Amino acid sequence: MTDLPALLSKWLCHDLATPAATVMTASELLGPTGDAEINGLVQDGAKRLVARLRLIRAAFAPGGAAMSGTALERLVRDGIDGTPLTWERPGDASGPEAALVAGAAMLLADLARGSAVTVDASGVRWDAARTLPDSVLAALAGETPTDSRAAVAAMVAAAAVRAGAAVTATADGIRWN
C-alpha cells in the first residue's frame, strides 16, 4: 500500500524548498548592493521556511536511516523557530523514531505558540498543563481527523506505530512507550 501522506509531504517539501533556496540565493547575491534590512528579512524568512520544510519532511516523510541525536535536535529546534526548546532526549533515533519526535514537537509547538517544549526519551511536553483540542485527542486515539491539527496528530500516531510505540495524550503533552 502506498503511503500517500508521506509522498505528498515529499512532493510539497521539494516543490517549496527549491523556490525558497532560490530566493535565499538571490538575496545573498544582492549582498550590500541591495537594501540590507530587506535582504536580511528575505534571508531570515527563507531560512525559517527551509527549516520548517525540513521538519515537516522528517515528521511526515521520514527516511529509513537513523539520525544522530544532535542532528535531530537541530532539526526540531530550527523547525519550531520561536518556541523555547529543552532537549533531554539521549542518543540517536531511527527514522521512525525521528519522525515521531519531529511530529510531536511540531504539533505541540503549533498548539501553544511561544510556550516552552521539552523533548525527552518518552515524549514531548509543554512547560505547564494545557488542554489538547478534542479533535487532536480523537486523532491520537485513532479516529479520523476532522481538521488540520487533527491531521497532524493522526500522522504523529502513525509515526508511533511505525516506531513500534503507542502514543498517549497527557495533561502536559504527548508520551509514548
Model-level pTM?
Answer: 0.83
- For 73-127, what is each residue's pLDDT tens digit? 999 999 998 899 999 999 999 999 999 999 999 999 999 988 999 999 999 999 9
Q: Nearest 5°: CA angle at 107, between 118 and 150?
A: 145
Integer-rounded Cα Rg, in Å, for the chain is 17
pLDDT number for residue 32 = 67
- For 50-59, what is each residue's pLDDT tens digit? 888 889 889 9
Distance between CA atoms of 45 and 38, rounded to whole angstroms? Answer: 11
Which long-range contacts (C-beta less than 8 Å, at least 24 apart) are formed by 112-115? 113/82, 113/83, 114/82, 114/83, 114/84, 115/83, 115/84
Give the residue carrying C-alpha cell 487532536.
Answer: 136
pLDDT number for residue 121 = 95
pLDDT number for residue 1 = 42
The mean predicted confidence, pLDDT, of the chain is 87
